[in-house]
Amino acid sequence: MTIRQTVMPGGWTWHRWHDLKPMEREELRIDHPYFVRSMHQDRFRSAQIPCIRSRERDAGALYGSLPYCDLPGDSKDEDSWLFFFMDERNLFTSDLCFSRLDGIEEHELMNYLEQCDTPVEGGFALLSKLALVCMNGLDIFAEKLIQLERKMRESNNSRLLDTLMQWQYDLIHWRRRIVPLEELLIAAKEAFAPERLEINSYYRLTALRVERLKLRLKRFDEEVGTMLAMDENIASYRGNEIMKTLTVFTVVCTPATVIAGLWGMNFEAMPGLGRPWGYSALILIICLLTTIVYLWLRWKGWTGDLIRGKKKRSNIV
């Protein structure tokens, strides 16, 4: 049979399944009809987005699907999704792939769930562990963010922009794992009596961890957004400096270009063509006009930064 049943000391049962066969579903339908019906209704096996459903409080059931792989870049398959169903007597979950759960071992999770008195407590104890996986993943993200901030302070280049864009996708990855947990906490209030949730320590623990995750996600999103804005400002400044340099160079060279264009025409009667001093005089005129144009640009203050240059360790060179 592809479903494992573990009876906890509190008297409730944890069911874990993997690839249920039609005959096994029919056997489960006898004792757990609502679980089989909800499983078929939401098409858990083909779920590609998180879905949370709740049943009326008199029935007291909460079920849905959650993504749980720990780090961005994991392949998307069935093992990366947790399908769950919890009511007053039983907790149903799909098999967990513990190799994708950073900091969680199977025996530790089993010992943790054995301390729960009800399947609802067990369900939220499991969800609190998933929230902890997200916390560990954001810790790794925070370390990388600190390193990137140091690199950006020392040297800003186009590679950092690629990294920042990749981390924007990583934040989307974590948001897709945190938001369903938040929605699940709200749906639990529809399925179970609020006074029972208030005394459920594992529900409160999950709520606190989700709140912490939301705060950290918001802070990281703001930091990455700030770094992207800084990179955009630096890129804009560099582009303006390049255009400014090219413009000044073009203006300074304009006298030489104009004179070369005029004296390059094939006319016979042109000033200085038959004079021995004509070539030297033309060079002198070009140098004089170029110097006058340059001094005028400098007097206007349009070449100051270009002449002085930038510091060696400047972030905008």
Average of pLDDT values for 79-105? Answer: 82
Q: For position 82, what pLDDT does the model report?
A: 84
DSSP designation for 191: H
Q: Is 63 helix (H, G, I), strand (E, B) or coil?
A: strand
Q: For position 23, what pLDDT does the model report?
A: 64
Q: Between residues 301 and 220, which one has the greater pLDDT?
A: 220
Contact assessment for residue 104 and residue 129, using Cβ atoms and an 8 Å cutoff: yes
Residue 56 reports pLDDT greater than 80: no
* Residue that is written with structure tokens 């720990």 in the block: 70
CB atoms < 10 A from the CB of 208, how many? 12
Q: State the Cα–Cα distance between residues 162 and 123, nearest whole angstrom.
A: 40
> Over the Cα atoms of the chain, what is R_g?
35
Band of the pLDDT at 216, cuts 50, 70, 90?
very high
Band of the pLDDT at 317, cuts 50, 70, 90?
low
* Residue that is written with structure tokens 């802070």 in the block: 219
pTM for the full model?
0.72
Average pLDDT taken over every residue of the chain: 80
Q: Between residues 131 and 155, which one has the greater pLDDT?
A: 131
Give the range among 93-97, 197-201, 203-207 with minimum mean pLDDT. 93-97
